[in-house]
Amino acid sequence: MTGAEAAGRLAEEGALDEAMDRYACGDSAAFATIHRALHPRLFSYLARMTASTSAADDLVQETFLRIHRARSTFARGGAVIPWAYAIARNVYTDHARAARLRQTERLPSDPGPDEVDRTAADGEAEAIAAETARVVERVLARLPAAQREAFVLIRYEGLSVQDAAAILGATPTAVKLRAFRAYEALRAELAALEGGGERGRR
């Protein structure tokens, strides 16, 4: 990220924090700004965690409902992004707990919204990319929840280790270790996939 990009991101986050301050004080019109900025990020996070875009649709709505209900508890001058992710994480945790109780917890069956278009001209590259996406989602689903959360927040959501640690209620060192272990599991699986592909082409 360039200096200009970093400055732009900080400005956006500052404007978002100000909007949340206004919303917490009763300015309902500020919700549109908050929703527009947070919805894509929270949806992406929840889709990664659940491996289901339909579940993510439901959970992101529940997240914004809880944000609305908890708006008066937002600390004036605070950072809304880690606060909102913490709420989304609680929503996901409740969903996963209920799913386990019903013994119907969903497993990933597709690569998600970023699935490679199977009609692309380069069929071999397309197949490799699609298989890689499936492997990533499969490995993420098998990881311990703590490792999966740390990896998704840092790798896919682009949060700092410090923000991820605040969301997860852990130390930065612990979060780094969890993310590293998740990365190692993914790397091993992808290396095995690549090795299989090489053997298949011989």
**Would the pLDDT of 97 be above 50?**
yes
- CA 181: distance to chain centroid? 17
Q: How confident is the model at residue 178 (pLDDT cuts 50, 70, 90)?
A: very high
**Would the pLDDT of 71 be above 90?**
yes
**Does domain 112-202 bear CATH number 1.10.10.10?**
yes
**Would the pLDDT of 29 be above 50?**
yes
Q: Which residues contact 23 (CB under 8 A, 6 or more apart)?
A: 30, 31, 34, 71, 74
- pLDDT at site 192: 75
Higher pLDDT, 68 or 12: 68
- pLDDT at site 116: 46
Sorted by where each begins, the domain ranges of the chain are 1-106, 112-202
Q: Supply the mean pLDDT for the chain.
A: 81
The answer to whether the 1-106 and 112-202 domains have the same CATH topology is: no
- pLDDT tens readout for residues 108-162: 445 444 444 444 444 555 565 666 667 778 888 888 989 999 999 998 888 999 9
Report pTM: 0.70
**Does domain 1-106 bear CATH number 1.10.1740.10?**
yes
